Amino acid sequence: MTETGRERLIQVPGSKSIANRALICATLAVGRSTISNCAPGDDTQAMLEALKTLGVKTDQDGTTVRVNSQINLGDTQPLELQTRLAGTTSRFLTALCALRVGQTTIDGYAPLRKRPMTGLHDALSSLGASVRSLDIAGHLPVTVGRGNSWQARIAIDSTTSSQFTSALMMIAPYLPCGLEIELRGEVISRGYLDMTVAVMRAFGAQTEIAGNVIWVSPGTYRGVDFAVEPDASSASYPSAIAAITGSRVTIAGLNRNSLQRDVEFFDVLSRMGCEVRQQQEGISITRDPAQQLRGIAVDMSQISDCVPTLAVVALFADSPTTISGVGFIRAKESDRIGDLASELRKLGAQIDEHADGFTVTPVALHGASLATHEDHRLAMAFAIAKLRIGGIEVQNPEVVSKSWPDYFKVFESFFKK
């Protein structure tokens, strides 16, 4: 972080969503790949450790990862992979390992075992893979392996998690006839599917999305040099800080043309009264202290990772804010509606839950000790509130290691005067 006057230039980590997609493609690719600005958090490290177990040779120098060998899909050795709390990692690896001849068991820590995997497991089974739950059906741990034949067409429920579809897309070039995927129901987090397409194309895949149908041609990935964008979800936290304190920050290297839909969070803050500009250095956001934050109504179904951040910003608006379209986030690392609401109520906040979201009505607030429910996004969002409310304690702050290990170090220096 650097500072000039009231403007602060913030370096956020690389996007773990993009990094994990790039690592899967690089693992399957012919030839070496170099992935720069790779995300530093636990999810990415869980991916790298799993790839090592799978026999993929990698080396890491800071945030640069080199993938030096291709996965041996013909290996018959049974393997076990531990994905900790990493939902994206576990889902992508489950699909990847469905290409292996040998059986692979994917497991995670207790909270990850509670998260839904049914859509992915059923889809892989329908395609022809061997899928066997070891405890509760549709949850980890699961053992997968290559089946005797593969289907070329599948329909998938797209109302639960885009990660299921992305996982299938990334292995599809290695199916004998490629894959046609029909998305059924309202597609949540469609931007992540567009991200998957962009990363796959960077590694040489041929894939298209038209409406609710995705086509992936058979083929192979090729090794490339790939730069990971700054993480737009992480950028929401310093941006929210500018919003609630009436200051200015610039997110270094982030562009409005990002592969990540979470850059739309800047548009949400603009509607609330902030000024957003694309600068040469990155995206800057400012709020004039004389300009009150306005409450808004917003559908966040496509930028759901930013819901906890906006909930905290909404505490300091001059009118209610209603967030909708996000009922599915109850099945994230935490119940990001129920747990978020119950913790903010400890501050005295008025939060009214709805089937697909909640309304925040600004009222007088006070300090409290807030539980993070093993959720990095709750921890980072709650910390922002400390700037306006005295006496807040964020419990188990170390959970931020999932995506931004240095978050509190950056946070403390950001506000030290």
Strand 179-184, strand 213-216: pairing: antiparallel
Euclidean distance between CA atoms 393 and 295, whole angstroms = 26
What is the C-alpha to C-alpha distance for residues 207 and 290, in angstroms, rounded to an integer?
Answer: 49
Identify the CA nearest to 207 among candidates 255, 175, 229. Answer: 175
Distance CA 244, CA 242 (A): 6
Distance CA 93, CA 337 (A): 28
Sign of CA dihedral 119, 226, 253, 245: positive
Q: Tell me if 20 sits within 8 A of 88, measured CB to CB.
A: yes
Residue 6 burial (CB count, 10 A): 12
Please tell me which residue in 42, 43, 107, 305 is annotated as part of the active site. 305
- Cα distance between residue 67 and residue 64, in whole Å: 10
Q: Which two tokens stand for residue 56?
A: 């993929």
Task: Report in angstroms the alpha-carbon separations of 59 from 67, 80, 81, 237.
Answer: 7, 21, 19, 31
* Pair 336, 311: CB distance under 8 Å: no
What kind and span of H or E run contains 9?
Answer: strand 7-10
Q: Give catalytic status of residue 299 as yes or no.
A: no
Contact 243, 313 (CB under 8 A): yes
Residues annotated catalytic, as ranges: 305
